[in-house]
Amino acid sequence: MTGPRLTPLARSLPQDVPFVGPETQEREQGFPFRARLGANESAFGPSRHAIEAMARAATEMWKYPDSSSHELRHALAARMGAAPDQVMVGGGIDGLLGTLVRLTVAEGDAVVTSDGAYPTFNYHVTGFGGVLHKVPFREDAEDLDALLARAGEVDAKLCYLSNPDNPMGSWHSGAVIEAALDRIPDGTFLVLDEAYIEFAPDGTAPRIDPEDPRVIRFRTFSKAYGMAGARVGYATGARALIGAFDKVRDHFGMTRPAQEAAAAALADDVWLGEVQEQVALSKHRIGQIAQANGLTALPSATNFVTVDCGGDGDFARAVLKALGARGVFVRMPARPPQDRCIRIGAGTQAELDVLAEELPRALQDAREAAPA
Amino acid sequence: MTGPRLTPLARSLPQDVPFVGPETQEREQGFPFRARLGANESAFGPSRHAIEAMARAATEMWKYPDSSSHELRHALAARMGAAPDQVMVGGGIDGLLGTLVRLTVAEGDAVVTSDGAYPTFNYHVTGFGGVLHKVPFREDAEDLDALLARAGEVDAKLCYLSNPDNPMGSWHSGAVIEAALDRIPDGTFLVLDEAYIEFAPDGTAPRIDPEDPRVIRFRTFSKAYGMAGARVGYATGARALIGAFDKVRDHFGMTRPAQEAAAAALADDVWLGEVQEQVALSKHRIGQIAQANGLTALPSATNFVTVDCGGDGDFARAVLKALGARGVFVRMPARPPQDRCIRIGAGTQAELDVLAEELPRALQDAREAAPA
């Protein structure tokens, strides 16, 4: 015997991972990054109330978490205009997406997404044996019409849309999404990932009745609330679906300190406003740095700026590599033609000083590595 | 349309949950428990170094966690006499069990466990469509011979054993388990849950080469390390299996503060020793309280004492209910004849004062509710 008998599906899956984390990169390259601008984290950190709540909760970490995330869930429901049983709290959008896919996608089931959209969603679909159908971006935005058309063609169970989009930073208005919902093929369910919604212009969030049977929406404390390391996301949707999460989820999977910190963060709108302001300033400066280097910053409704490096994917990959070697952690879109860009997070002014210093050198490195 | 199309498996699953948490019970009953003795938590709390590490890490919670739990995993490997790639860190044993079951159990696959053993393991097996075969306890201990025999009969992919056992507190020596491994049926893989191992007598942990292809062992920071609310468990096993976890796990699912706290807790052997001593004292007093009430405390290698209430399951359930109504949270075994017992956690002296005061009253309540 050579170990347990894995399922045929498990045997068939690759062992690669959706993202290599910056710590892993730092260990491999042997030095720390000077600017951590690649994971769309909030360099401005969480509310001090969230920090204090976590520090207080540390003394209580001997207790299992509240399996229903009662207080946080009720506060989120009030914020979302939903009932508490229309809200599910989970370990980040990543974890919640995994549970949704597990509930809906059996081996061979069709799922539609954009080619180059969130890899972790794809990872879950593949991990449960689903078949991904990918639609190209259109003018650097997720192409709603094409997504819906493909969903109808392949009888997709799920159709993924992030709004605003990662990695391009583009967005659709809420009205456009509301109208799309009315055209969604029968049997297809919309997975609306709003991880970046707090950075988007007013009117970007569609008005959706939580009981709407056509869609579930996901939000997170990882971005605007600065709590990526605490793993708190939430879903709002119809009671029957939210209730179905209880069939398979890890009921005691949340950490108690994160539950407390998230509740405190949610109550601190002043800090949220400050972060939004800092992110806007940071994005403006990234645009200036791009322009000073002859590059084009794309419009962004997120906490990052996607910058067109003016060449092809190989050139952008060379820029990314050169930035990494110079201590600047960024990431980039995976698929052409979006892979002509690199994606730069809204960092602190100190980090952007490093970027301003290293970007021209990295561009020079990249041009020397692959002369035109 | 009435929502997403769930998989046939998801539709078939019940919506009940493995455990109702004490917070849920408190909300339902309308008052808080005075003694929290039901969830096998560590009332003595975590190391102060773990608390400090979490408080420090709170300011860094804006960063995603290290997806490989590098530092913690390396420290655990050193402790376990394993290589780092023979160790997987996850969100408690619960989360790790779920991933193992997902990797190994397809619909219809047979799994063997003891009737009345850990419900969350059963929940995962059912949740992935596995078929549970349950073997009775023998003299209040998991019956290794019967488990192995049944595994052979049903061609079980997995065979679950907790050592020491929850909910009875019984245990087998490491030598017995080593011998059992040599008799395990071809094709059956042993799931060894050692959540309580730090409370067990020397010699309870079997000597197992991490590369042994017949077994995976699980341990946790939830019990002796007092960190149930931080969700940190770990598995040691053969490289090929540990590597397979990477195919499906939520790579960024750990919280960063919990990673830091666990590393600090692991390094504090002094506190671990104090907890072991406090637990032993607390268990001794629970035995005295039981005896003073004419009840029998079973031997325990865990941080709880299972107490034979001297009647049948209905009587023990009545005692449990009466204790709850009096503010004492305990749980009990689910299956006869073990359900003649209640399970009392090693609480603080203040909590045991409450127990000493309320147990005779609860027994009186139970006797009045169901006279002999």
- Co-location of A254 and A132 in the same domain: yes
Question: At residue A109, what is the residue type?
Answer: D
ipTM over cut 0.95: yes
Q: Quick check: is B1 in a domain?
A: no
B37 touches chain A (CB under 8 A): no
Give residues 120 to 139 of B whose Cβ lies within 8 Å of A.
127
Both tokens of A256, joined, read: 């108690």
| Domain that residue A202 falls in | 48-267
- What pLDDT is stored for residue A19 in this prediction? 81
Residue A184 and residue A103 share a domain: yes
Closest to A34 in 3D by CA, of A354, A356, A359: A354
Domain edge (last residue) among B267, B302, B317: B267
Blockwise average pLDDT, block size 10, chain A, 372 residues: 90 87 93 97 98 98 97 98 98 98 98 97 98 98 98 98 98 98 97 98 98 98 98 98 97 98 98 98 98 98 98 97 97 97 98 98 93 56
Does residue B85 share a domain with residue B74? Answer: yes
Name residues 79-108 of chain A within 8 A of B (Cβ).
91-92, 94-95, 98, 100, 102-106
Whether residue B292 sits in one domain with residue B151: no
Question: Which CATH number belongs to the domain containing residue B361 in this structure?
Answer: 3.90.1150.10
- Name the residue among A5, A54, A59 with its Cβ closest to that of B157: A5
Residues B112 and B245 in one domain: yes
Query: CB distance B103–A4 less than 8 Å?
Result: yes
Joined tokens for residue A41: 């984290």
- B75 phi and psi angles, rounded to 5 deg: -65, -40
Regions of chain B where pLDDT drops below 50: none
| CATH, residue A129 | 3.40.640.10
A67 touches chain B (CB under 8 A): yes
Contact of B154 with chain A, judged by CB distance below 8 Å, is answered with no
* Mutation for testing the B interface, residue in A64, A102, A154 having most B CBs under 10 Å: A64
Residue A343: which H helix or E strand, with range?
strand A341-345
| DSSP assignments along A141-185, one per residue | B--HHHHHHHHHHHT-SEEEEESS-TTT-----HHHHHHHHTTPP
Q: What are residue B342's DSSP bridge partners? A: B307
The domain boundary, picked from B232, B267, B302, lies at B267
Structural domain count of chain A: 2
What are the residues whose beta carbons fall under 8 Å from the beta carbon of A302, sequence distance 6 or more? A40, A164, A165, A166, A169, A196, A199, A200, A223
Residue B207 covered by a domain: yes
Residues 6+ apart with CB under 8 A from A359: A289, A290, A293, A323, A328
Longest CA span, chain B: 62
Kindly determine whether residue B231 and residue A241, on different chains, have CB atoms separated by under 8 Å. Answer: no
Instruction: Decide if B206 is inside a domain.
Output: yes
Question: For residue A349, how many other CB atoms are within 10 A of its CB?
Answer: 12
Q: Do A58 and B6 touch (CB under 8 A)?
A: no
Nearest CA in chain B to A51: B58
pLDDT for A17 equals 76
Number of neighbouring beta carbons within 10 Å of residue A131: 15
In terms of domains, do B202 and B147 share one? yes
Q: Are strands B304-308 and B328-329 parallel, antiparallel or unpaired?
A: unpaired
| CB-based contact A9 B62, cutoff 8 Å | no
Q: What tokens appear for A250 in the block?
A: 């890890």
A90: β partners: A233
Residues of chain A contacting B231 with CB distance shorter than 8 Å: 65, 252-255
**How far is it, in rounded angstroms, from Cα B152 to Cα B202?**
31
In total, chain B counts a number of residues equal to 372
pLDDT tens digits, B153-174: 999 999 999 999 999 999 999 9
Note which residues in 282-341 of chain A have CB less than 8 A from chain B: none
Candidate from B3, B189, B229 with C-beta closest to A240:
B3
- Nearest Cβ partner of A230 from B106, B251, B257? B257
Q: Are the beta carbons of A6 and B104 separated by less than 8 Å?
A: yes
| Same domain for A143 and A217 | yes
Option in B8, B64, B227 nearest A21 (CB)? B64
B352 and B228 inside one domain: no
CA angle (A333 as vertex; A329, A338 as ends), nearest 5: 135
Indicate whether A279 and A328 sit together in one domain.
yes
In sequence order, what DSSP letters do the residues of A277-328 get, joined into one string?
HHHHHHHHHHHHHHHHTT-EEPP-SSSEEEEE-SS-HHHHHHHHHHHHHTTE
Q: How far apart are CA B47 and CA B266, in angstroms?
A: 9
Angstrom distance (rounded) from CA A343 to CA A165: 12
Instruction: List CB contacts (< 8 A) between A2 and chain B.
Output: 213, 240
- Do A228 and A303 sit in the same domain of this protein? no
Q: Which of B245, B267, B289 is the last residue of a domain?
A: B267
Q: Which residue is associated with the tokens 């053993």?
A: B117
Secondary structure of B280-307 as H, E, C letters: HHHHHHHHHHHHHCCCEECCCCCCEEEE
Asked if A135 and A260 sit in the same domain, the reply is yes
Whether A115 is in a domain gets the answer yes
One domain for residues A124 and A194: yes
Cβ–Cβ below 8 Å for B51 and A60: no
* Positive/negative CA dihedral, A213, A95, A46, A327: negative
In chain B, whose CA is at the least distance from the CA of A191? B4
What is the pLDDT at residue B371?
59
Q: Which residues contact A333 (CB under 8 A, 6 or more apart)?
A: A116, A167, A168, A306, A339, A341, A343
- Residues 6+ away with beta carbon under 8 Å from B242: B85, B86, B87, B88, B235, B236
- Subunit contact B17:A251, Cβ cutoff 8 A: yes
For chain B positions 170-189, those within 8 Å of chain A (CB to CB) are: 186-187, 189
A-B Cβ pairs (cutoff 8 Å, strict): 292
